[in-house]
Amino acid sequence: KNSALKHNANSLKYTEPTTESFPAHIQLLRAAKSSDAKGIDARNTAFSASNMARIVRLVAALAAVPLNAFVLPEGPWEHHWAVIVAGSNGYGNYRHQADACHAYQIAKRKGIPEKQIILFMYDDIAHSKENPIPGKVFNKPDGKDVYKGCKASYTGKDVSAAKFLAVLTGDKKTAKGPVLRSSKRDNVFIYYADHGAPGLIAMPEDEEPVYAKDLNSALVAMKEKDMYNRLVFYLEACESGSMFKGILAEDTKVYATTAANEKESSFGTYCDEDAVVNGTNLHTCLGDLYSVSWLEDADSAFPRESLQRQMAKVVKETKESHVQIFGDTSFASDFAGAFEGDAKDKHGYLRGDAKAQVRTGVDARDATLSYHRSKAKAGLPGAREAYLAELAFRTETAARFVAIAAAHGASASLVTGFAVDVASFDDATWACYKAAVDAVRLSCPRGISDEFVLGHVGMLGALCADGSPDVAASVRAACA
């Protein structure tokens, strides 16, 4: 690690640094070594009186030097950190935890120390009674078990917005667990897979969601605290583009990509008849289209691949939604492995067409419906009834939101035809929107843990932005 050593790339030999580049006590050691080498006969091990005197003086000099002076300064090497989040629970949401564990395995295999990988995962699908392969989780058909060795730092109720934001900002008191301890020399990689809606990404068990305003405030705080050199954020969720569009600055060394734009769904993949592992159909989606694209690329990519090239391949493979890129793209030519793993920072390949793999997708808003339909097709006990119950729930949910819109003089078309720009929200609009979402979370069937319900909450943001009074009260009335 001695920064004085310089590597000669042409000769592949190390050139000896000058004596002056060493601290004084190291120079003294080198001088004594040189002098001793000249004063000692190779055929005679007896020391002369002058050599002995020099050794005595050397020992006395070294005794006066503090022990920590012998630790050479740390070189300009980065320490890489990763924060990985699966923001849902339940076997029907299998894909999010499968994506997250796959990301964990990549980070670990590519050299990020496990103590520097912070994983949020409810951890309920591997041993779910619905899992036909107990204790194992797969992210692709006939793939490897990604659950083995996947160590979550936060599980169950500890998978929350408050703890996630605390981890990002290094707030150990709130997190009550491991947090980022990164510095301005370190790279940070954040990967989040979950359900979403305009301006929010969900958390398990109907916990409060992570809002775009709060997430971006945390990223700003990280920058102000010198908690990263460069930061890469990959986000898998419906309407995920709304978390950064018009909000994330372009000069903060944060490079963010999302599975979808601000008004469309993301898509699951390896679903239904494709969700087969060693002859067993898991019936649920094993992964998400955008996520599987970058994860499988990271598994097989040449080490020198750049962020830009990796994302070009992801864009090609994610055909059902529009992958977005936000923030600071000035370092898009850097190795993807310098974030997803512990590679040193170098510029990677930018050009050349990446070979794309064709995968089918299922609208994430219909993932639960797809799960019940797959089981019904297989003739599993109670599956047809569960499928019909899901259809009925969706009809009831749509009717509730029509009633909310009507309470504010809006037509039923607003329920699915809303347009909302969270980047334009002022504090009052955010307060209205958060209160309305909270009312859904606490008062309506399934709260906001359901992807179909989340597909409607953006309407509440549109009402708030239009100045409608007490939208939360209308929600509570409709769900009573």
Residues marked active site are found at 195, 238
Strand partners, 382: none
Q: What secondary structure, in 3-state letters, does the chain show?
A: CCCCCEEECCCCEEECCCHHHCCHHHHHHHHHHHHHHHHCCCCCCCCCHHHHHHHHHHHHHHHCCCHHHHCCCCCCCCCEEEEEEECCCCHHHHHHHHHHHHHHHHHHHCCCCHHHEEEECCCCCCCCCCCCCCCCCECCCCCCECCCCCCCCECHHHCCHHHHHHHHHCCHHHHCCCCCCCCCCCEEEEEEECCEECCEECCHHHCCCEEHHHHHHHHHHHHHCCCCCEEEEEEECCCHHHHCCCCCCCCCCEEEEECCCCCCCCEEECCHHHCEECCEECCCCCEEHHHHHHHHHHHHCCCCEEHHHHHHHHHHHCCCCCCEEEECCCCCCEECHHHHCCCCCCECECCCCCCCCCCCEEEHHHHHHHHHHHHHHCCCCCHHHHHHHHHHHHHHHHHHHHHHHHHCCCCCCHHHHCCCCHHHCCHHHHHHHHHHHHHHHHHCCCCCCCHHHHHHHHHHHHHHHCCCCCHHHHHHHHCC
